[in-house]
Amino acid sequence: MIFPLAFVGALVVAVLVMRPKMPNEPVAAAATSAAAPDASNKARSAAAMMAQDPLPQLLAQDDRVLEERTRYLAALEAAYRAEPVDSQWAAMTERALVDVSRGDALAATRIKPNAWSVQCHSRSCKMSAVFGDYDDAQDWANFFLTGTGGILAQAELSVRRDVGGTTHVLIFGARR
């Protein structure tokens, strides 16, 4: 009784496997199942690579980057305000920074900052300026900071577009 049933079952399987393919038939199941692990590996590999690639993460974190940067600059501002004033060092450093901003190299760029202000306390300086153009603001801030070696140990820069269309540059510089 079992033998005829097994024979019929084997026959059905053989017919299904050996039947001719139709022209519009999808890709063979065997090929699909063989390709599936490859595709899956590729997907895992891309995911692993994306986990290592900082750019998508940074772009995805755009809001968080801005938020953290704003918080950090606020902390720098608070630290700067809390510093006592070393009037001798402050005056000397302010003069040196203003000299950089008025030097030949920056003058040759023909980019002029508005409302340029430099104020130093005892360990840091706060500088700010307003520009009519965002790219000019970026360039001028980079060029200015390039010339501050020997005056500042390092600096943090914020370039922010204001609602009115102007761009506000804010720099906190640390004493050498």
Partner 1 sequence: MCRIGLSLCSIGLMLACSMASTAMAVEISRQDFQGAVGMCKASTPAYNASLRNRPLGMANESSSAVYVTCNWQGDDTQNGTRGARRVFVVVGNTSTAPKTVACTLVNGFQSGTTTVATYTPKTVTVAAGAAATIAWVPGDIAGGTDQIKLPALSCNLPGGTTLQYTGKQYNEDVGA
Residues lying near partner 1 in the complex (CB under 8 A) are found at 52, 54, 58-59, 61-62, 65-66, 69, 104-105, 108-109, 134, 138-139, 142-143, 145-161, 174
- Identify the CA nearest to 109 among candidates 143, 138, 69: 143
d(CA 39, CA 10): 33
Q: Identify which of residues 37 and 150 has a Cβ nearer to partner 1 in the complex.
A: 150
Supply φ then ψ for residue 106, to 5 degrees: -75, -35
156 exposure class (CB count in 10 Å sphere: 0-12, 13-18, 19+): middle
The token pair at 58 is 């940074």
**Residue corresponding to tokens 């995911």:** 47
Residue length of the chain? 176
Q: How far is the CB of 173 from partner 1 (least distance, A)?
A: 8
Q: Identify which of residues 28 and 65 has a Cβ nearer to partner 1 in the complex.
A: 65
Q: Identify which of residues 25 and 104 has a Cβ nearer to partner 1 in the complex.
A: 104
Q: How far is the CB of 168 from partner 1 (least distance, A)?
A: 11
Q: How far is the CB of 108 from partner 1 (least distance, A)?
A: 6
Q: How far is the CB of 155 from partner 1 (least distance, A)?
A: 4
